[in-house]
Amino acid sequence: MYVLGSTDAERERVARLAAHLGPLTERLFREAGIGEGQTVLDIGSGVGDVAMLVGRLVGSRGSVLGIERDPKSVARARERASAAGLAHVRFEESDIDAIASGAPVDAVVGRLILQFLPNPIASLRSLAARVRPGGVLAFHEPAWPPSLAVAPQLPLWHGSASLIRATFRLSGANTEIGLGLGRLFEDAGLPTPSMRLEVPLGNSPEFARRVYDVLCSIRPRFEEWGLYPAELGEFESLGSRLEEEIRASPTAVPFGVGLVAAWSRLPGGQP
């Protein structure tokens, strides 16, 4: 089950989040060697932010294909890429595990997607088969322990983040997959990846909104499963109480989940 659901509010949340994560993801892709003229597959492309970011890196001599199974997200991604003048960024409605075979690509990328795949080793192995020798695979995936460890003194932030993690877990998502990306790449037969962990920090109200937005998207699930803890108080006022807690905090707060960047280059061919 896809825990975040398929609502307009969730699609807007993903686009708002992307505006903050963009610079981190761009750094990962540049380091991985993604650039001018390349062909790239973006899996779990959502409303298109990662594909558009890559579209700008590869330029109009390159091309990007976003794979996304939610038809409304695909429609929104096409609208946004067209409005941005990125004719070389296209989207296809498909499950990642059902993508048609095609010409080899220079890179496969994804952000916050491997965590949702039922068999990420098998998926990664078949995605790697689409990458040409010397091409790359690059992913940004979550890890909660580092961001939870930063904010134990903020009970509302910590309780909210723990609720997100627990709800994702119960839905079958692998909330710590970021920390396991090294083994995952190896088990899929790929070279051991280079890895980095990042936990964006700050004190602005945006840091409260980020967490509350996710809670709004997953509310049907945590209510159904009875996970909402009494200590968080009434849900409707939680967003403003989170903002207050963060405003009063002398220490910085994590933006949300920690992000592990991992990338690996296949042997052979031209880099």
Ligand X SMILES: C[S@@+](CC[C@H](N)C(=O)[O-])C[C@H]1O[C@@H](n2cnc3c(N)ncnc32)[C@H](O)[C@@H]1O
Residue among 14, 64, 163, 257 that touches ligand X (CB under 6 A): 14
**What is the distance between the alpha carbons of residues 128 and 114, in angstroms, rounded to a whole number?**
14
Per CB under 6 A, the list member of 52, 74, 112, 246 interacting with ligand X is 112
Stretch that binds ligand X, among 106-114, 189-197, 237-245, 261-269 (CB under 6 A): 106-114
Please identify, using beta-carbon distances, which residue of 63 and 123 lies nearer to ligand X.
123
Our CB check for ligand X shows the closer of 113 and 181 to be 113
Q: How far is CA 143 from CA 127, 136, 175, 199, 217, in A?
A: 23, 22, 6, 9, 19
CB 160 within 8 A of CB 217: no
Task: Choose one: 32-40, 84-92, 105-113, 258-266; the region binding ligand X (CB under 6 A).
Answer: 105-113
Q: Is 113 in the site for ligand X (CB under 6 A)?
A: yes
- β-strand partners of 258: 143
Residue 89: CB partners within 8 Å, gap ≥ 6?
Answer: 48, 51, 52, 54, 55, 63, 64, 66, 81
CA–CA distance, 257 with 79 (Å, rounded to integer): 29
Minimum CB distance to ligand X smaller for 25 or for 156: 25
Q: Which of 58, 96, 127, 136 binds ligand X (CB under 6 A)?
A: 96
Backbone phi, psi, residue 63, to 5°: -155, 155
Q: 44 or 200: whose CB is closer to ligand X?
A: 44
| CB of residue 190 to ligand X, shortest distance in Å | 20
Residue 165 contacts ligand X per CB under 6 A: no
Q: Using the rule CB under 6 A, is 258 a contact of ligand X?
A: no
Q: Give min distance, CB of 251 to ligand X, in A.
A: 28
Measure the CA–CA gap between 19 and 26, rounded to whole angstroms: 11
Q: Counting contacts by CB under 6 A, is residue 107 touching ligand X? A: no
Strands 194-198 and 258-265, by their bridges, are antiparallel
What letters, b where the CB count within 10 A reaches 16 and e where it falls short, cover 78-92?
A: bebbeeeebebbbbe
Does 225 bind ligand X (CB under 6 A)? Our answer is no
Site for ligand X in 35-94 (CB under 6 A): 44-46, 49-50, 67-70, 73
Where are the strands (E) in the chain, listed by range?
A: 39-43, 63-68, 89-93, 105-111, 131-143, 194-198, 201-202, 253-254, 258-265
Kindly tell me which residue out of 12, 36, 79, 95 binds ligand X, with binding defined by CB under 6 A. 95
Is there a contact between 252 and 203 (Cβ–Cβ < 8 Å)? yes
With b for 16 or more beta-carbon neighbours within 10 A and e for fewer, the 196-205 pattern comes to eebbbeeeee
Using CB under 6 A as the binding criterion, the count of chain residues that bind ligand X stands at: 21
Query: For ligand X, which is the closer residue by CB, 41 or 190?
Result: 41
Q: Which is nearer to ligand X, 20 or 241 (CB)?
A: 20
Q: Using CB under 6 A as the criterion, which residues of the chain lie in contact with ligand X when the complex forms?
A: 2, 4, 14, 18, 44-46, 49-50, 67-70, 73, 95-96, 111-113, 116-117
